[in-house]
């Protein structure tokens, strides 16, 4: 069994978030799925400001929306300069048999994604 890499877990989280954004009627101006490159999504919707969405895959199923507050302050400055809103999407992903085990390719897993946290 192959353990999913950090990039593969990130891509899985991106897919979950991308599907939700599509359901919400947003158009993607830009998508960046490279790990640790932000924002992951730049959104457009007629009559609304630009939205930067930051996606983070985490093994924390109980609190997937926890983020680095200090780092977020820096990113908020970037968003303000671009007249953009900032949304955070924490996606918890864990092995279905035991959260202590890694997530394996083609094996069941739990997914925890509640909603977006509006940061700015």
Is the separation of the CB atoms in 53 and 18 below 8 Å? no
53's enclosing H/E stretch is: strand 50-58
Structure tokens at 2: 């192959």
The residue-averaged pLDDT of 82-111 equals: 95
pLDDT class for 115, splitting at 50, 70, 90? very high
Count Cα atoms within 13 angstroms, Cβ side, for 103.
Answer: 22
pLDDT digits (tens, 9 = 90+) for 31-45: 999 988 889 999 999
What is the CATH number assigned to the segment(s) 6-118? 3.40.1350.10
Contact of 4 with 32, CB cutoff 8 Å: no
Q: Which two tokens stand for residue 103?
A: 């997530």
Cα atoms in the Cβ-side hemisphere of radius 13 Å centred on 84? 21
pLDDT tens, position by position, 11-23 = 999 999 999 999 9
Q: Where are the domains of the chain?
A: 6-118
Report pLDDT for 2.
Answer: 96
pLDDT of residue 1 exceeding 90, the answer is no
Containing 14, the helix (H) or strand (E) segment is: helix 6-23
Residue 47: pLDDT band with limits 50, 70, 90: very high
**The pTM is what?**
0.92
Contacts of 17 (CB under 8 A, 6+ apart): 40, 41, 53, 55, 89, 91, 113
pLDDT at 44: 92
| Tens-place pLDDT, residues 63-95 | 999 998 998 998 999 999 999 999 999 999 999
């Amino acid at each position: 069994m192959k353990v999913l890499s950090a990039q593969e877990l990130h891509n899985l989280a991106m897919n979950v978030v991308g599907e939700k954004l599509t359901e919400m009627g947003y158009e993607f101006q830009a998508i960046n799925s490279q790990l640790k490159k932000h924002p992951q999504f730049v959104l457009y919707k007629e009559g609304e400001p630009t939205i930067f969405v930051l996606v983070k895959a985490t093994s924390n199923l109980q609190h997937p929306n926890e983020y680095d507050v200090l780092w977020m302050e820096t990113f908020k400055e970037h968003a303000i300069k671009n007249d953009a809103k900032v949304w955070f999407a924490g996606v918890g992903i864990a092995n279905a048999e035991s959260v202590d085990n890694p997530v394996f390719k083609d094996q069941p897993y739990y997914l925890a994604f509640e909603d977006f946290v509006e940061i700015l």
